[in-house]
Structure 1
Amino acid sequence: MNFDDIIYEVSESFATITINRPKVLNAFTGHTVHELTQAFMLAWSDRSVRSVILTGAGDKAFCAGGDQSRREHGGYAGQREARSDLGIDIEALHSVIRDIPKPVIAAVNGYAIGGGHVLHVICDLTIASDQARFGQIGPKVGSVDAGFGTGYLAQLVGEKKAREIWFLCRQYSAAEAREMGLVNAVVPQERLIEEARAWAREIAQLSPTAIKLAKQSFNMASEKFRGVEAFASSALALYYDTDEAMEGRNAFVEKRRPDFAKFVK
């Protein structure tokens, strides 16, 4: 299958999915998300694939979240066949990463920000390069990712830290991310992909049925966040149609500080 925004490769016992939009720090559009979902489905159906590595092209970013230049009132442009009112089927992508009965390893090679940060959080394992940066940006750009982006994050790093991440929109180094339990390992940038492949090779030596059952068991405790995300997506589509949300988006595109003061009720 040919893709526009991603690269899909199968080697040995694992698939590698690379978000290939380095000029925009691998920010995703509705089309990118659609292709990512398709790629994960390919990996799911391929019996030779025992795990999946998700990464970003280049050495600057894993993924910087949604491409704000493609966002308009009510949601994202350019993917009108999307089922979601947002114009981007991010729920479907999140679901396939969780539901594929094979471990998904995020190889974070740079910025994992906003929706890109949520992607690595949902992955089963995260290996970060020593150049990686993590953080949320939603409240700066008039957006939020409720469910997995908030509640599940709190389950990983604790309520206080998760609220700090969202309420202050700071960025954190790979070392800080490891200290808070957000990543499993930190390696030099030049060793990142090989380290992810080494982990994938270890997984391939284990019982696939045991791995499948273990992943499904782990997911049970956080399954409630899928329902929260579905409700939040509907609410977010309404929020994206407001002047307040567009102020955040416009300020980001125009490279200025947003002025939210006029929206305080």
Structure 2
Amino acid sequence: MTGPDVGYAVSDGVAAVTINRPEVHNAFREQTIRELIDAFDQADADPEAGVVVLTGAGAEAFSTGGDVRMEDAFDPAEGRRMARLLIRLAEAIRGTGKPVIAKIRGWCVGGGNELILLCDFAIAAESAVFAHTDSRLGNSPIWYGTQLLPRLVGDRRAKEILMLGRHYPAARAAEMGWINEAVPDDELDAAVDRWCRTLLDASPQALRLTKLSVDTTADLSLPSVRHGFETLSHIYGSAEFHEGTTAFLERRPPRFRRSNPRTGGTEMGR
């Protein structure tokens, strides 16, 4: 359970939700998103599950976000349809009253980072690397990236992360408050288990009410997400967006500001 893209299993009160696409660094496609929704719905309804742990298969990546080949084919209508699906996933993660812990190994990039922002806690191996590369793809992280990251690290640091595309080691991410803890790689499983045991010893109704109360203000950002997706849908098919996705797939730097000799300006990104 639930399918080829996402695994779901419950043991000792912990529901493990695993993105199982290590061959593409656990990038998610539509099927992945639907299976994640199903997994979190199962965990929410499962009386045996008191804590949910979200992770990615293998040691290379937690997730590198949306599958770029999928996104490259988007047009505005498809973008809106996927936006509705992603909002459903966010509501499935944030809407469960059970604590959700992101367990992170390897790359945590773009939409993968937005996934961990939707979780209540984030614990990473020291070798994990965090980044937002949307500015290199002609894209914008409006699926709670622009809304939730500033609440954790502050506006200026969030703009640095989201706009410059730099890579950050786990220890630095923990120092900024981006994640809760960075631990030696071989201690990650044990560290997450300790967090799970502590949470499972607490009152479920107290955890549910506390989570709901803390999340109240952030939940008001949903209109910003909806507005962001509507705006974002209009860039699909744009020259800059396709330059970004094509450059990524061709493993080369994007050229957003190529000079136009006739006008003295640029073909993209004036």
Q: For 2:81, what is the secondary structure of its paired residue?
A: coil
Q: Which is further off, 208-217 or 87-96? A: 87-96
Cα deviation, residue 141, structure 1 = 1.1
The equivalences for 1:161-200 within 5 A come to 161-200=157-196
Q: In the alignment, which of 243, 251, 269 is matched to residue 264 of structure 1?
A: 269
Counterpart residue type for residue 142 of structure 1? G
What letter matches 1:213 in structure 2? L
Tell me which amino acid in the other structure corresponds to 1:21. R
Which has the higher mean CA deviation after the structures are superposed, 61-70 or 186-195?
Answer: 186-195
Q: Between the two proteins, what is the percent identity of the paired residues?
A: 36
Question: Which residue number in structure 1 is paired with residue 99 of structure 2?
Answer: 103
Task: Normalising by structure 2, report the TM-score.
Answer: 0.92
- Secondary structure of the residue aligned to 2:90 is helix
Over 3 Å counting, the alpha-carbon distance change for 1:166 and 1:2 in structure 2 is closer
* 4+ runs deviating over 6 angstroms: none
**Structure 1 residue 193: deviation in Å?**
2.1
Decide which structure has the larger Cα Rg and report it.
2
Q: Distance in 2 between matches of 1:75 and 1:135?
A: 26
For residue 209 of structure 1, report the CA deviation from its aligned partner.
Answer: 0.6
Equivalent residue in structure 2 for 1:160, among 156, 159, 172: 156
Which residue is equivalent to 2:208? Answer: 212
Amino acid at match of 1:166: L
- Structure 1 range deviating more: 187-196 or 120-129: 187-196
Query: 1:171: how far off?
Result: 0.7
Match of 2:226 among 230, 250, 257: 230
Secondary structure, aligned partner of 1:52: strand
Query: Are 2:120 and 1:115 aligned?
Result: no
2: CA distance, partners of 1:102 / 1:55: 16
- Secondary structure (helix, strand or coil) at the match of 2:55 reads strand
Q: Structure 1 residues 83 and 232, CA, compared in 2 at 3 Å: closer, same or farther?
A: closer
User: Deviations 1:202-255 (Å, cap 9, x if unpaired)?
Assistant: 111111111000000011121122111111112222211212211111110011
Distance 1:8 1:46, change over 3 A: same
1:2 CA drift (Å): 3.9
Normalised by the length of structure 1, the TM-score is 0.93
> Could you say which residue in structure 1 is the equivalent of 2:63?
63
What is the alpha-carbon root mean square deviation over aligned residues? 1.8
Q: Counterpart amino acid of 2:268?
A: F
User: In the superposition, relative to structure 1, how do residues 117 and 252 fare at CA in structure 2: closer, same or farther (>3 Å)?
Assistant: same
CA–CA separation in structure 1 for the residues paired with 2:83 and 2:218: 26
1:147-189 alpha-carbon deviations (Å, 9 max, x no partner): 5201211011001100000111001001100110011111111
On the 8 A contact 2:79/2:236 being kept in 1, the answer is no
Q: Distance in 1 between matches of 2:159 and 2:70?
A: 28
The structural deviation recorded for 1:137 is: 0.8
2:150 is the alignment partner of 1:150:
no
The answer to whether the aligner puts 1:254 opposite 2:250 as a matched pair is: yes
Tell me which amino acid in the other structure corresponds to 1:17: V
Question: Relative to structure 2, which stretch is displaced further, 237-246 or 40-49?
Answer: 237-246
Aligned to 1:201: 197
Distance 2:197 2:80 in 1: 36
Q: Distance in 1 between matches of 2:19 and 2:74?
A: 25
- After the TM superposition, which of the residue ranges 20-29 and 190-199 deviates more from structure 2? 190-199
Residue 10 (1) aligns with residue 6 (2): no
SS at match of 1:144: coil
State the partner residue of 1:27.
Answer: 27
Q: Secondary structure at the match of 1:62?
A: strand
- The answer to which of 197-206 and 10-19 deviates more is 197-206
Q: Which residue of 2 aligns with 1:54?
A: 54
CA contact (8 A) 1:52 1:104 kept: yes
Conserved 8 A contact 2:50-2:204 = yes
In structure 2, the CA distance between the partners of 1:62 and 1:75, relative to structure 1 (3 Å rule), is: farther
Provide the aligned length of Structure 1 versus Structure 2. Answer: 261
Q: 3-state SS of the aligned residue for 1:15?
A: strand
Q: 8 Å contact 1:142–1:240 — kept in the other structure?
A: no
